Chain A
Amino acid sequence: MTELLNGDGALSLVPKTDVKQTAKDFKTDQEVRWCPGCGDYAILAAVQGFLPELGLRRENITFVSGIGCSSRFPYYMNTYGFHSIHGRAPAIATGLAASRPDLSVWVVTGDGDALSIGGNHLIHALRRNVNLKILLFNNRIYGLTKGQYSPTSEVGKITKSTPMGSLDSPFNPISLAIGAEGTFVARTIDSDRKHLQSVLRAAAQHEGTALVEIYQNCNIFNDGAFDPLKDAAVRDDVTVRLEHGEPILFGAERQKALVRGANGGFEVAEAADVDPASIVVHDAHNPDPSQAFALSRLDSPAFEHTPIGIFRQVARPSYDQLMREQMEEAVEQQGPGDLAALLGSGDTWRIG
């Protein structure tokens, strides 16, 4: 579904393996301790199932996480892994990715971890375009602390900490990431393995920061949060599957179309009623993020029409690459470092 912008992109410096890998190679001997029925299992299986396709040496893959249910993820991946501090995974992974271009660095985070306590690090990683693939498991609830509302919970959410309903408006992670100058911004769903893996594939190759929001069901504290997108009876009517270069049509019979509304945003119309030329064609590669942002605003709490897929995928040099280039330039211009010369630089004098 995705057309690559920069070939091997992010992975060009990561050593490849000749050994054929399977999902099993990426499993650890650790018992997986998520609640039975948790959406995290499906995501874990999808990641383990897709990684062999990349053909990377396993030791050159690293998963970094923060704190929360999703952040236990690295313990279950037979790669290098770092389970770190609440909210700080993008910062820690930035230091790793910026100093090790030979690694494929993944960040696993949740809606509380990434958007509440770690919001600052997330937006700065995105604007810098560090070579990180950020998987944001969005279940719209705090799971590990047992059920408080999160920064993506809908207004009025009744939880343990908000018995009369939550007061604050949620973040839309896609809008946030596009606003933070993200170069790759996508959404997928835990239960749609094929779609999930196709998005991961594109993310892995992206040069710079890729943010993948994954709608993930917490069957204990927020069960059914994404049911409309999963229920076979209605999901095709409400899921807008974004394909770059394709007109945006959806519905079981592709009977609905997206057109530009009078206010500049997008509106849903009956495809039969509109001029085909007026149907919006998805352009994920447009340097101007306005259209991608407008698409992200189609969401509604009732899931009347929810886009999934790659909203934005544009080429911009990664922070790590620019850092490397500066270092190479410094050596080119001044020669490699000479410690004795450095210590003796500036005004010196000799005694004796």
Chain B
Amino acid sequence: MTNVTKQVQQLDRVIIRFAGDSGDGMQLTGDRFTQETASFGNDLSTLPNFPAEIRAPAGTLPGVSSFQLHFADHDILTPGDAPDVLVAMNPAALKANLGDLPRGAGLIVNTDEFTKRNLAKVGYAANPLEGEVLAEYRVHALPLTSMTVGALGDFDISKKDAERAKNMFALGLLSWMYNRPTEGTLNFLERKFAKKPEIMKANIAAFQAGWSYGETTEAFSVQYEVRPAEQEPGLYRNITGNVALAYGLVAAGQRSGLPVFLGSYPITPASDILHELSKHKRFGVRTFQAEDEIAAAGAALGASFGGSLGVTTTSGPGIALKSETIGLAVATELPMIVIDVQRAGPSTGLPTKTEQADLLQVLYGRNGEAPVPVVAPQSPSDCFDAALEAARIAVKYRTPVVLLSDGYLANGSEPWLLPDVESLPRIDPEFAAAGQEDFQPFKRDPETLARPWAVPGTPGLEHRIGGLEKADGSGNISYDPDNHDLMTRLRQAKIDGIANDIAPLRVDDPDGARVLVLGWGCTYGSISAAVRRVRRAGGQIAQAHLRHLNPFPANLAEVLRSYDKVVVPEINLGQLALLLRGKYLVDVISYNRMRGLPFKAEELAGVIQDVIDSD
């Protein structure tokens, strides 16, 4: 090896996409690079993108799995629109991702996989590495597999195991290119393969070989540097939305003194919340893997009746199956948290891709008038706070609350400034006290309109609840027409009243703009990044983001009417837009795309600019 002097080039931000076959370990590679980047102190945002099939046929387009990471020396909001560097481990990964690659982008390709057979599998008549197809990219065509196998010649492992370490070689190379700290990855490999020392050593060797290759070969003349971002002081970790949500539920249990009971049925992409919570039994968290979605919701509600913080998690069609139980929770006025990690539908839809199309379902998808509060987190780490907020509302108002996360937030990650545990809100269950004379299970708190939560085991408060209409106050079955009218209005008024107990909608409008862009949920990052672009180009745009979808903040009508035009981007066909038009008679401009992926900042910036220009 010759000693090569490397140039070091400063960059303010980089977007890397690792792409390969489902079996190539791309998610793990991306995760590791993310951890290295997080510990280095860059701000970052990630977008894992993988097929619903566990192992689609090897080397095919449907089997391609990718992981995109955006990191920068300043705060960033999205996983990035287009990769600066694509790592393609096989022809399928190249073909599936090339379209997203801007001219001039870097391309690292594993040539070992570009065999006639593999090329044919994805419809390449000729090898793209040999023609002019890739002429506009900075291509590094490397035999990653054979270099890995070559580097591991001294290890007592099978050829297959040696080949499988190629992702670590690629990670080592990229880690060198971007000067990432390696200690975390080395520790990780030691832990992961603690029981297979030879495999552990081989993976570490592959990782180091990748690093050394970058350092010594002339093919890579430039090393990049992305300085740490300025971030608020404190202790950080990287966190995905699903883990943040699970932690938020544990925190809600701790801050309320209520044991958490999760009833869940496995479904993508919500299952990780079940997996995570099942690890935290020592916090008094019970997890129950039910026989179906209905039983999962039912068990959660039964636990709530017994004085637990009942939670059920689901996604996609699962939320439809829980509808009847949510209706019962509305009728019985018990606290319950329903987490819907939205995915693209209808029906099975695109199980691993994101969408925001369950909003109307959770608001209105029940028989009868059955209002429920709806809370939506805006970033992966915000899932923690959203879970606490959902618990606060559920317990205080004795109501099921829907938390609308989605596939992008669930699997995406970002650095999280750890909160001070003592600063987290306390939640007081205020159970009904024993020994009351003439206990009235449906006598409401005059302020919140919440009914008492009287749990079994409390002497003197024995009472019966159920789905049949109950008389105001006594809670006895009542078929009285006026009582039903009253109870319907009371249930609605209780939920509407929560508007006075949530923060008013905050508008970011430094320039006195005439156009407002209003979003909810996972689009926060994309919209915010788009707003920055528009402002940098001299445009005036106001931005607001809804966390509460029911009830809306009390000042929403006023905010909407303060602007000439309101743009509402949603990953659905305009569900929030429909609500805003119906409720406030404001003809908002709806922008909709349903590609199973987050919006691109550039795309939204264009949409916003067009609306400003059309003024």
**What residues of chain A have their CB less than 8 Å away from a CB belonging to chain B?**
15, 28, 30, 57-62, 64-65, 67, 74-75, 77-85, 88, 90-100, 102-103, 120-121, 124, 323, 326-327, 330-331, 334-337, 339-340, 342-352
Nearest B residue to A127, CB-CB: B291
**Can you list 18 A-B contacts (CB < 8 A)?**
A82-B332, A83-B464, A84-B466, A85-B325, A88-B298, A91-B295, A94-B288, A95-B308, A99-B307, A102-B457, A121-B295, A121-B298, A323-B286, A331-B282, A339-B254, A344-B418, A348-B235, A350-B234
Q: How distant is B338 from chain A, measured CB to nearest CB, in Å?
A: 14
Using A330-B281, A337-B284, A347-B238 as known contacts, say yes or no to A91 and B302 having CB atoms under 8 A apart. yes
Residues of chain A lying within 8 A (CB to CB) of residue B310: 95
On whether the beta carbons of A327 and B306 are closer than 8 Å, the reply is: no
Residue in A77, A121, A339 whose CB lies within 8 Å of B291: A121
On whether the beta carbons of B280 and A337 are closer than 8 Å, the reply is: yes
Residues of chain B lying within 8 A (CB to CB) of residue A351: 41, 231-234, 236
Residue in A94, A103, A335, A343 whose CB lies within 8 Å of B456: A103
The count of residues in chain B whose C-beta lies closer than 8 Å to any C-beta of chain A is 67
Nearest A residue to B458, CB-CB: A59
On whether the beta carbons of A99 and B259 are closer than 8 Å, the reply is: yes
Q: How distant is B463 from chain A, measured CB to nearest CB, in Å?
A: 7
Using A59-B461, A95-B302, A342-B250 as known contacts, say yes or no to A327 and B282 having CB atoms under 8 A apart. yes
Q: Which of B35, B295, B476 has the most CB of A within 10 A?
A: B295
Residues of chain A lying within 8 A (CB to CB) of residue B457: 15, 59-60, 100, 102-103
On whether the beta carbons of A96 and B303 are closer than 8 Å, the reply is: yes
In the complex, per-residue mask of B218-234: 1 if CB is within 8 Å of any chain A CB, else 0: 00000000000001111
In the complex, per-residue mask of B447-469: 1 if CB is within 8 Å of any chain A CB, else 0: 00000000011111111111110
User: Roughly how many angstroms separate A88 CA and B297 CA in the complex, as a whole number?
Assistant: 10
**What residues of chain B have their CB less than 8 Å away from a CB belonging to chain A?**
35, 38-39, 41, 184, 231-238, 247, 250-251, 254, 259, 261, 263, 280-284, 286, 288, 290-292, 294-296, 298-308, 310, 324-325, 328, 332, 418-419, 421, 456-468, 476-477
Q: How distant is A144 from chain B, measured CB to nearest CB, in Å?
A: 12
Nearest B residue to A341, CB-CB: B421
Q: How distant is B100 from chain A, measured CB to nearest CB, in Å?
A: 29
User: Roughly how many angstroms separate A65 CA and B41 CA in the complex, as a whole number?
Assistant: 56
User: Roughly how many angstroms separate A346 CA and B457 CA in the complex, as a whole number?
Assistant: 40
Residue in B236, B301, B462 whose CB lies within 8 Å of A58: B462
Residue in A61, A74, A80, A327 whose CB lies within 8 Å of B284: A327
On whether the beta carbons of A337 and B283 are closer than 8 Å, the reply is: yes
User: Roughly how many angstroms separate A124 CA and B460 CA in the complex, as a whole number?
Assistant: 34
Using A102-B457, A348-B418 as known contacts, say yes or no to A95 and B298 having CB atoms under 8 A apart. yes
Residues of chain A lying within 8 A (CB to CB) of residue B462: 58-59, 78-81
Residue in B254, B298, B461 whose CB lies within 8 Å of A84: B298
User: Roughly how many angstroms separate A334 CA and B303 CA in the complex, as a whole number?
Assistant: 25
On whether the beta carbons of A30 and B184 are closer than 8 Å, the reply is: no
Residues of chain B lying within 8 A (CB to CB) of residue A88: 294-295, 298, 324-325
On whether the beta carbons of B306 and A91 are closer than 8 Å, the reply is: no
- Give how many A-B residue pairs fall within 8 Å (CB-CB): 208
Residue in B39, B301, B465 whose CB lies within 8 Å of A95: B301
On whether the beta carbons of A348 and B236 are closer than 8 Å, the reply is: yes
Residues of chain A lying within 8 A (CB to CB) of residue B238: 346-347
Q: How distant is A334 from chain B, measured CB to nearest CB, in Å?
A: 5
On whether the beta carbons of B460 and A59 are closer than 8 Å, the reply is: yes
Residue in B41, B259, B296 whose CB lies within 8 Å of A349: B41
Nearest B residue to A71, CB-CB: B466
Nearest A residue to B35, CB-CB: A347
Residues of chain B lying within 8 A (CB to CB) of residue A82: 302, 305, 332, 464-466
Using A74-B466, A88-B325, A343-B247 as known contacts, say yes or no to A96 and B295 having CB atoms under 8 A apart. no
Residues of chain A lying within 8 A (CB to CB) of residue B456: 59-62, 80, 96, 100, 103
User: Roughly how many angstroms separate A65 CA and B477 CA in the complex, as a whole number?
Assistant: 15
Nearest A residue to B295, CB-CB: A91
On whether the beta carbons of A349 and B233 are closer than 8 Å, the reply is: no
Residues of chain B lying within 8 A (CB to CB) of residue A103: 306, 456-457
Residues of chain A lying within 8 A (CB to CB) of residue B418: 343-344, 348
On whether the beta carbons of B303 and A95 are closer than 8 Å, the reply is: yes
Using A343-B418, A347-B35 as known contacts, say yes or no to A120 and B295 having CB atoms under 8 A apart. yes
Q: How distant is B334 from chain A, measured CB to nearest CB, in Å?
A: 9
On whether the beta carbons of A347 and B298 are closer than 8 Å, the reply is: no
User: Roughly how many angstroms separate A234 CA and B454 CA in the complex, as a whole number?
Assistant: 50
Using A57-B459, A80-B463, A103-B456 as known contacts, say yes or no to A350 and B298 having CB atoms under 8 A apart. no
Q: How distant is A72 from chain B, measured CB to nearest CB, in Å?
A: 9
Q: Main SS of chain A's interface residues?
A: mixed
On whether the beta carbons of B477 and A30 are closer than 8 Å, the reply is: yes
User: Roughly how many angstroms separate A227 CA and B383 CA in the complex, as a whole number?
Assistant: 61
User: Roughly how many angstroms separate A10 CA and B238 CA in the complex, as a whole number?
Assistant: 45
Q: How distant is B20 from chain A, measured CB to nearest CB, in Å?
A: 24
Known: A79-B462, A348-B235, A349-B237. 11 other contacts (CB 8 A): A58-B459, A91-B299, A121-B291, A327-B282, A337-B282, A342-B247, A345-B237, A347-B35, A347-B238, A350-B236, A352-B233
On whether the beta carbons of B288 and A95 are closer than 8 Å, the reply is: yes
User: Roughly how many angstroms separate A57 CA and B568 CA in the complex, as a whole number?
Assistant: 57
Residue in A84, A92, A100, A347 whose CB lies within 8 Å of B237: A347
Residues of chain A lying within 8 A (CB to CB) of residue B291: 91, 120-121, 124
User: Roughly how many angstroms separate A38 CA and B251 CA in the complex, as a whole number?
Assistant: 50
Residues of chain B lying within 8 A (CB to CB) of residue A99: 259, 261, 286, 302-303, 306-308
Q: How distant is B150 from chain A, measured CB to nearest CB, in Å?
A: 31
On whether the beta carbons of B466 and A98 are closer than 8 Å, the reply is: no
User: Roughly how many angstroms separate A199 CA and B337 CA in the complex, as a whole number?
Assistant: 39
Q: How distant is A189 from chain B, measured CB to nearest CB, in Å?
A: 27
On whether the beta carbons of B288 and A344 are closer than 8 Å, the reply is: no
User: Roughly how many angstroms separate A62 CA and B465 CA in the complex, as a whole number?
Assistant: 11
User: Roughly how many angstroms separate A339 CA and B419 CA in the complex, as a whole number?
Assistant: 11
User: Roughly how many angstroms separate A121 CA and B263 CA in the complex, as a whole number?
Assistant: 13
Q: How distant is B73 from chain A, measured CB to nearest CB, in Å?
A: 13
Q: How distant is A38 from chain B, measured CB to nearest CB, in Å?
A: 18
Residues of chain A lying within 8 A (CB to CB) of residue B308: 95, 99
Nearest A residue to B243, CB-CB: A346
On whether the beta carbons of A83 and B299 are closer than 8 Å, the reply is: no
On whether the beta carbons of B306 and A124 are closer than 8 Å, the reply is: no
Q: Which of B41, B232, B282 has the most CB of A within 10 A?
A: B282
Residues of chain B lying within 8 A (CB to CB) of residue A74: 464, 466
Q: How distant is A93 from chain B, measured CB to nearest CB, in Å?
A: 6
Residue in A80, A120, A339, A340 whose CB lies within 8 Å of B292: A120
Nearest B residue to A349, CB-CB: B39
On whether the beta carbons of A326 and B281 are closer than 8 Å, the reply is: yes
Nearest A residue to B301, CB-CB: A92
User: Roughly how many angstroms separate A75 CA and B237 CA in the complex, as a whole number?
Assistant: 52
On whether the beta carbons of B282 and A94 are closer than 8 Å, the reply is: no
Using A327-B284, A337-B254, A339-B254 as known contacts, say yes or no to A347 and B39 having CB atoms under 8 A apart. yes
Residues of chain B lying within 8 A (CB to CB) of residue A124: 290-291, 295
On whether the beta carbons of A337 and B250 are closer than 8 Å, the reply is: yes
On whether the beta carbons of A327 and B286 are closer than 8 Å, the reply is: yes
Q: How distant is A40 from chain B, measured CB to nearest CB, in Å?
A: 16
Residues of chain A lying within 8 A (CB to CB) of residue B251: 339, 343
Residues of chain A lying within 8 A (CB to CB) of residue B284: 327, 337
On whether the beta carbons of B184 and A91 are closer than 8 Å, the reply is: no
Q: How distant is A112 from chain B, measured CB to nearest CB, in Å?
A: 16
User: Roughly how many angstroms separate A124 CA and B294 CA in the complex, as a whole number?
Assistant: 13
User: Roughly how many angstroms separate A121 CA and B265 CA in the complex, as a whole number?
Assistant: 13
Residues of chain B lying within 8 A (CB to CB) of residue A78: 462
Nearest B residue to A88, CB-CB: B298
Residues of chain A lying within 8 A (CB to CB) of residue B459: 57-59
User: Roughly how many angstroms separate A92 CA and B304 CA in the complex, as a whole number?
Assistant: 10
On whether the beta carbons of A349 and B38 are closer than 8 Å, the reply is: yes
Q: How distant is B266 from chain A, measured CB to nearest CB, in Å?
A: 15
